[in-house]
Amino acid sequence: MPRVADRKSWRKPAAPPVEAPQTPPEAAPRSHYHTSQHHGHHQDPDPALDVELVDHTERLPLRSKRTRRLEEKLARKKRTATTPLCLEDMPFEILDAILLCCQPRDLFAMSRVSKGYRDFIKQEGSRIAKSIIERRYPCLAACFLRPVLLENIQDLGVRRHMGHPKVTSRVRGHMFHHIPTIRGELVCSCPTCYHRWNALGLLVDFAHWQDFLDKGEAIPRIPFGRRPMWNKVLLNRNMQVVLKGIRDPLWYARILEKHLESTTRAIRRQVLNKSNKRQHYRLTDQDLQEGTDHFLEAEGPPTIDYPFHRDSYYMLEAYLPNRSWIDGKWVYLPASLHERDVAGLINSLFPVPGKEEAEG
């Protein structure tokens, strides 16, 4: 009987065992590896070698004419978008030419825009205002000269005499309901300056009541001997405006501008008044658009009557004193009357002893 092979030999040969993949050890310096194997124990790696790598690569700067022009163009766009141009960025000559075409009220509005504009108007306002007066209001400026401040009188002896109570008390009792009393301690009290002060005060008061006159409303009347509080407040406000006009040419130009507006409104009222048969000034729409007083240089009714109270405002058309129509043109009173009146006033109130005997 043949020998039966062992049962184990009949089985299918088993597959060789699969070994688990071994994780390779962390990279370490060769010297460290050999040292740990040599001594037969594990040693921690050096902390200084475990440093995180940082990328220090940078973009190479481009240097070419094309790149420079492109960068300048982008910078200009950014500057234009962030800082828009204004009047302060203009050349001084162009800015000065623009402001000379403005009216005084525009300069006051400009000074309220920003601190820079206010400082500019404060510094250059007097010069600009004088040029505006010469261009727009030469006729009104000749009719309404400003009184002289005592501080502007160069002669100290004359200044001391004009501030004396003998001089200031002469005009203290001359009070109107519509004109503020002259400040003798600040302004010269000679007859010429006194009338100049009253004329400026009248302009400010006449401009205040224009809305009443246009609407046909009656101006409040003040009984004789009464001084209501509302009129005291109004006169005090008018006095402050007149003092500012004497000191500051810009305020003086603003007063002339308001009087030109009052005059044009009065002329239009009187033209529509069919009961008023007097001669009127010729006023056109072009004259109103120009905003100048050149139409007042033509022949028209002279200012003869002085408005001693507000009732005269109803028929007042053009208050232009200190001029007369002679030989086909208007002749204005000279500004030198102030010096003549001051000299005569001092000689009459403060005579020099022995001078009259010597002259006799």
Segment 190-237, tens digit of pLDDT: 889 999 999 999 999 999 999 999 998 999 999 888 889 999 999 999
Is pLDDT above 90 for 96?
A: no
Confidence of residue 35 (pLDDT cuts 50, 70, 90): very low
35 in any annotated domain: no
Q: Per the domain annotation, does 295 fall within a domain?
A: yes
Q: What predicted TM-score, i.e. pTM, was given to this entire model?
A: 0.73
Q: Provide the pLDDT for residue 145.
A: 94
pLDDT of residue 33: 44
Which residue(s) pair with 323 in the sheet?
332
* 30 within some domain: no
pLDDT over 90 at 37, yes or no: no
Domain for residue 91, yes or no? no
The C-alpha angle 290, 110, 239, rounded to 5 degrees, equals 80
pLDDT value at residue 12: 55
Residues 85-111 have a mean pLDDT of 84
Instruction: Please work out, in degrees rounded to the nearest 5, the angle formed at the alpha carbon of residue 135 by the alpha carbons of 132 and 139.
Output: 105
Residue with the larger pLDDT of the pair 262 and 28: 262
pLDDT of residue 68: 86
What pLDDT score does 299 carry? 86
pLDDT at residue 116, rounded to an integer:
82
Q: Is residue 112 part of a domain?
A: no
Question: With 90 as the cut, is the pLDDT of residue 350 above it?
Answer: no
Residue 189 included in any domain: yes
| Confidence tier at 36 by pLDDT (50, 70, 90) | very low
Domain span at 311: 144-348
In a domain, 23, yes or no: no
d(CA 360, CA 358): 5
Tokens of 109: 């509005």
Tell whether the torsion through CA atoms of 24, 30, 32 and 36 is positive or negative.
Answer: positive
Residue 222 exposure: Cα atoms within 13 Å on the Cβ side: 14
Report which of 322, 349, 358 is spatially closest to residue 198, judged by C-alpha positions.
322
| Mean pLDDT taken over the chain | 81
**Residue 147: per-residue pLDDT:** 94
User: At residue 44, does pLDDT exceed 60?
Assistant: no
**Total domains, the chain:** 1
Q: Residue holding tokens 């005592």? A: 150
pLDDT grade for 15, boundaries at 50, 70 and 90: low
The pair of structure tokens assigned to 213 is 């006159």
Decide if 27 is inside a domain: no
Q: What span, in angstroms and rounded, lies between the C-alpha atoms of 258 and 145?
A: 15
How many C-beta neighbours within 10 Å does residue 247 have? Answer: 15
